[in-house]
Amino acid sequence: MVVFGVILLLPGLCALIFAAGSIQSSNFDTGLLPYLVIGLLVAFVGIVLIRTATKDQ
């Protein structure tokens, strides 16, 4: 379960890197905002999954 949780963290990491890069270039496309939010939500699910898996041990 921990491995699957770590895999779920990757879309959130990509979303943060993409958002930071687009903010620095000063042409942030708001049409991509839903995809960034979905990536961060998937990462949040990964964090919850990791915490749940480590609490059971």
Which pLDDT does position 20 carry in this prediction?
82
Residue ranges in the chain modelled with pLDDT below 50: none
Q: What per-residue confidence (pLDDT) applies to 14?
A: 92
d(CA 33, CA 25): 16
Q: Please say whether the beta carbons of 45 and 6 come within 8 A.
A: no
- Directed axis angle between helix 2-24 and helix 33-55, to 10°? 150
What pLDDT was estimated at residue 51? Answer: 94
Which pLDDT does position 19 carry in this prediction? 82
Q: What pLDDT score does 56 carry?
A: 67
How confident is the model at residue 43, as a pLDDT?
95
Query: Which pTM value belongs to this model?
Result: 0.82
pLDDT of residue 23: 76
Closest residue by Cα to residue 21 from 36, 31, 42, 7 = 36
What is the CB-side half-sphere exposure of residue 11 using CA atoms within 13 A? 16
